[in-house]
Amino acid sequence: MLVKAEDAGPRYLEIISRSKFFRVVEFGERAAVEAAVLTREALASAGMRGVVPEADRAKVKFDRQIVAIARVVGASVIYSNDDQLIRHARAAGIEGLKLDDLPDPPASHQFELELEPPEPEELEENDED
């Protein structure tokens, strides 16, 4: 997100840090251990790159760090438009959803304004002012 945010990046970070819906967490010791577990599991079954054999090693390690952090904090879903990250999340038992797959906001929360057009006499009166 911040890569494409350009000059708006600091503002986005401020919004995220104040929101009750987001939590920014660091890659700490517990997440490092979890990332090691994920890597060990991948090596035992499919190789270093695991479910994303076409990815380069650096990308795989970065995605595993994100998934490890999500596991440590108890996240149940990772939202991303990154297909490779979603595949890593799903392989680790975390639901991965693309932003395009999110449901549309419910229409029931929207209401229709009933605006009556003005009568012709009202328009003529306003023209005289």
Q: pLDDT tens, 46-95? A: 888 888 989 899 999 999 999 999 999 999 999 999 999 999 999 999 99
Residue 18 lies in a domain: no
Mean per-residue pLDDT, 96-100: 89
Residue 59 buriedness (CB in 10 A; 0-12 / 13-18 / 19+): middle
Do the beta carbons of residue 99 and residue 78 sit within 8 Å? no
Sign of CA dihedral 71, 77, 82, 83: positive
Domain that holds residue 59: 26-101
Identify whether 9 is part of a domain.
no
Q: Is the pLDDT of residue 20 over 80?
A: yes
Q: What is the pLDDT of residue 128?
A: 58
As for how many domains the chain has, the answer is 1
pLDDT at 15: 92
Q: How far apart are the first and last CA of the chain?
A: 53
Reply yes or no on whether the pLDDT at 105 is more than 80.
Answer: no
Please report where in the chains the tokens 């479910």 appear, as a residue. Answer: 51
CA distance readout (Å), 94 to 49, 64, 71, 122: 18, 12, 8, 62
Tally of CB atoms within 10 A around 91: 19
- Determine the pLDDT at residue 7: 92
3: in domain = no
Q: Which residue has the higher pLDDT, 51 or 106?
A: 51
Q: Quote the pLDDT of residue 67.
A: 97
Q: What is the band of 110 on the pLDDT scale with cuts at 50, 70, 90?
A: low
* Token pair for 54: 């076409």
Residue 52 Rama label (left phi>0; alpha psi -120 to 50; beta):
beta
